[in-house]
Chains A and B, each alone.
Chain A
Amino acid sequence: MKGSVRFENVTKTFGDVVALKPLSLDIAPGTLVTLLGPSGCGKTTTLRLIAGLESASTGRILIGGEDVTHLSATYRRVSMVFQSYALFPHMTVLENVGYGLSVKGLPRAEIRDRAEAGLETVGLKGFGARLPSELSGGQQQRVAVARAIVLEPEVLLLDEPLSNLDAKLRRHVREEIRQIQQRLGLTAVYVTHDQEEAMAVSDRIIVMRNAEIAQEGSPHDLYDRPANGFIADFIGDANLIEVSVLNSADSTDIALGNRRLTLPLRGASQGPARLVLRPHHLRLAAEPAPDRIPAEVTSAAWLGNSVQYLLSSEMGTLFAITDPRAQAFRRGDTVHLTFDPADLRLVPA
């Protein structure tokens, strides 16, 4: 399958450092898959293994169904956009973009046309004669993208491509990258440590932690069905609350302190577990009621489009986000919390 990427139990060690524990993954052609995780978890290493810039310590790597484990980077039909852009400082923008074509030995006119077209794709028509040092960061970044895509690679790799851009530009460029990827039908592997960025651009997200995959799935899956507390907290924030599962059949009964709750969930195993309570699922009321949980506001921040509270309650410290039009509270106020059991999820303790 052209454009697919497959790892079979790939490991990578640098001396004593284990950068990847046995890792298997499958990336479908034409999709944009994000490797997401905290710094040092092995994302870049995984990307470099796909590119052929590192060789796997053990295991097999397949691209387009073909075993490339021992194939050098030169011959893999994969291009990469580097975090530092890695534009060649002694070549013009056009020479940079046409570099991959020219090392293939294509005729000059064709190189020129395709490089121009590449620049046009990223919206830099007419910048070809400049040197990289004469472009802004965002423009340099787009040159790097153009340079990678003019080769029509089977797989496009991007290593934190937005990390050197300012926040406004970041949203814009990530949309552009996504559009280009979809228009050209490219398979793309995108590395980032920013979960919002990952959610926004990805077809699938592979969350990594400690040199292995923590969970993979569509953005929706990860948010809605987190496999563990780490994912629940990493993908959209979560309050994680210790509970115990009393019994589980068509619905699940849990004990939260001395309260009993019934969740519309199936198949949870009995015993200790953690409850995932998203900050914006919490509702704050001034009046007490039997099913409401009292809490004290320890801090309140007004952000214009939301209000964020830190609350201290019998369930520990909770983080809540409310609509600014709802009733406002101040530090020291006592509030009473409610939530809809249908919004709650359980993860293993």
Chain B
Amino acid sequence: MKPSPFAYHAPEDVDAALALLAELGDDGKVLAGGQSLVPMMNMRLAAPPALVDITRLTDLDHVTVDDDQVTVGATVTHERLRTHPDASRACPLLRQALDWVAHPVIRNRGTSVGSIVHADPAAELPAVLALLDGSVELRSTQGTRTVAGGDFVVGPLESDVQPGELATSVSFPALTASTGTAFHELARRHGDYALAGVGVRVDLDDDRRVAAVRAAFIGVADRPLVVELTDALSGQAHDALDTGDAVGHARDQLDPNGDIHASGSYRRHLAGILLDRAVCDAVAATTSTQEAA
């Protein structure tokens, strides 16, 4: 199908974009890579009266990496972030998750910030943001505010962006050598949205024993579901892991819906299998473990 008519604006700088968004209010919608919005408009699930195309805002086309964090501007595509060597080094979970995001042709246009704002329950990056407690910077003509990663996604396809606001960037904390991460998922075809998936963050102590573990599940709830697993795993040696308790604890908290692609009980089972693999990979990925090996 074809989208319904709309007015198109392509501002050249951020202030002009904010002025347009302020004036349009509920009638205005940001167009970034269009890889989620345009399918919804083609299917007439969305019919915004006006689009503000932000792809010409060169000010937002940046990936900045320092000792503390990786900051990604709103026009940076998935593929650009995925292949950014400094970003992958500072926060390996970005690359690990982005390898699963869509197909290369979609990644060439879809933006990482757009995917987080779009907040699909099966999308990888909103889970990364929630798991690592990153943050989102939002600007409007009223000023700038920062929302913590865990609070940003409020429901299925719903994030904390108000009419008139533009998400200008998203920041992810840089990880240290004693922290390891991994992302695992299963989809019918690599690049499709996952049936279930999980990102894991493990912190080891000085003796290379597990000190803290968190997981963020996708595709099994109406938004990324963060589960604390420290109690189930802490104190375990990096080379003698038993994930049984953690898998049981996580499955207890999951009650996914079934659909045409998979039943709820299969998704719940799958989530546990993926968690086991991801915890083992995350521990193996800590630099301190690699050096000891």
Tell me, yes or no, whether A binds B: no
B interface residues (Cβ-Cβ under 8 A, vs A)? none
A interface residues (Cβ-Cβ under 8 A, vs B)? none
